[in-house]
Structure formats: structure tokens, C-alpha cells
Amino acid sequence: MFKTIVLATDLSPAWEEIVACAGEFKALGCSRVILTNVIMAKFMVGLEEMLRADARPKLAAQQQQLEAQGFKVEVEIPVGLPAYSLNDIACRYGADLIVVGSHGTALWREAVLGCFTCALLHHARYPTLLINVRATKAQGSDPCRLHCGSLLRHVLFPTDFSEIGMRAGEFVENLAAKGIGQVTLLNTLDVPGQEAYPPGYQEIAEDAARQLLKKWHQRLLEAAIPVVNDCFDPGHPLPAILQVLESQDISLIVMGTQGKGFIKELFLGSVAHNVSRLAQCPVLLIPPASR
């Protein structure tokens, strides 16, 4: 499914952990890696060649690790802004997936990366897997949240039943063949300004949402996913998603980056952005097909 991936390393120690367990990506169908380190020329004008020279031996070491795990590896060191450079690399190589870290070092720290993630959500033309590489005390000596063999153990699929929600659901269906063990299907019904709607609107909308949940439940079972859980929440999607993450052992979130919400991409884009920042597990973000 994801035969060729762009692995956007920032060359930090945390990314050493991701590269070390990159065999996990074979579970997604990956056999080819485009190992990429973006030189952010906007902040480093005139230093491109020095930064490239510093990056090359580190990239060579990561390339060697990946090749030892059976991947075909090519290395790219583009100059530019990551949100655009990664799209360009993915397009040139016909990639199926971009993999980035949601926390890192140097210019990729959260202060900068918050803007980068937001830009990525708005401009990404390819499915993007964000991995939280921030070390915590609970993780001890293993700062990587990507644990080999368990990425598809329990998938959380939040959806608003929009076109992009349906597209994200198709990715979940396709991943079923790769060994998904369990899916939790989540829908929320955040209706701001309810007083502007006719009496009974909330009940009608909730009934319609529950019917769609049932249809998707059956659809995922028919995709041969062994266990499918339904979850409906009448509130805002972000706290609902975070509550599921806190109460269940989720290994991967799959969601669209744009929905049918009342402010459309700004609304659901904000949810996806915040989920990618706050979730400890990897997040697979699916862009609209029109990009």
C-alpha cells in the first residue's frame, strides 16, 4: 500500500531510534525509502553547503541502517521549506507516504515545528505519518513511539462522514489487509449555535450520525477487521479524541485533514493539527484527493 515512503529525518538522536526500527514500515508494504533531510534556506541563507556537508555522513549512516533492514534507499538533501520540499520529493519519486517527526531538534523544535505541521496540513498532497519522537520519563531509554510490530494493533479512526472522512476510511479498509487488529470508530456532533436550528435538530442529527456509525461499523467488519468499536460523542472532536487516547491503548490514529465542519479546513485542520501535537502515538493524516 505504501511501497515508497519519504522519510524526513532531522538527524536527531530520536530519529536514530526511528531508523533503527524502520522495519515497522514493511508492515505497511514499504520496500523503498527516500531518506530526506531538508535544509531550511529561509533561516540559513548562505550556509546551505556547510549544512549539507554536515548532514551527509549522518545520512550515510542512516542509509546504511535502512539498507541493512532490506530497504532500497535513496538520499535527498533539498533546500527550502519542508512543507513544500517534501511534496516535491514525494512527487518526483512517486511516493505513497511522507513520514515526519512531530518533535525534533534545532530548527525543527516545537516553536518552528508548530508552523511546519500547520503548513504541512494545508499543503500536503500525500498521506503523511507523524511520529511523536519526544522522549518522556515513562519511555525510559526508548524515545521512539514507533514500536516494531505494533503499529496496526489498535487504530483510532475519527470521522465526520465528510468526503475526506470517507477517503480516510478507505485507507483504514486498505490497511486491514496489512493486519489491523482492532479499530475504534469515533464520531462527534459538535453543533455550535444550536439555538439557530429548529427544535429537535440535535436529536435528528444525532440519529443520522449513529446510523452512519452503524454503516461504517459493518463496512469495516466486511474489510476483515476482527474487532470494530463504535464511539459517539455529542461534543467537540478534540477532547473526544483525547479521551479515547487516554482510556484505550491506541497504536495509530487515521484521520482526514479537512472536513465538512462549520469552518471547514480551518476547523478540522485545527483538530488534526492539535491531535498531531498532543497524541503520543503515530498519526496518519489523509489529505483531500483534490490536492
Go through the domains of the chain in sequence order and give each one's CATH number. Answer: 4-139 (3.40.50.620), 155-286 (3.40.50.620)
- Written as one string, the DSSP assignment of 70-112 is T-EEEEE--BS-HHHHHHHHHHHHT-SEEEEESS-SGGGSHHH
pLDDT for 146-177, tens place per residue? 555 588 999 999 998 888 889 999 999 999 99
- Average pLDDT value over all residues in the chain: 81
Residues belonging to the chain: 291
Asked if 265 contacts 122 with a C-beta cutoff of 8 angstroms, the reply is yes
Burial of residue 207 (CB within 10 Å: 0-12, 13-18, 19+) is exposed
Q: What are the cell numbers at 275?
A: 491531535
Check residue 204 and give its pLDDT: 82
- Residues 212-222 have pLDDT tens digits of 999 999 999 99
Pick the range with the lowest mean pLDDT from 15-29, 50-64, 190-204, 229-243: 190-204
- What share of the chain in percent tops pLDDT 90? 45
pLDDT tens, 33-72? 999 999 876 555 567 888 889 999 999 999 999 999 999 9
Angle between helices 13-20 and 48-68 (to 10 degrees): 30
pLDDT for residue 241 is more than 50: yes
Tens of pLDDT, residue by residue over 89-128, are: 999 999 999 998 865 444 444 444 445 556 666 677 899 9
What are the two backbone dihedrals, phi and then psi, of residue 208, each rounded to the nearest 5 degrees? -65, -40
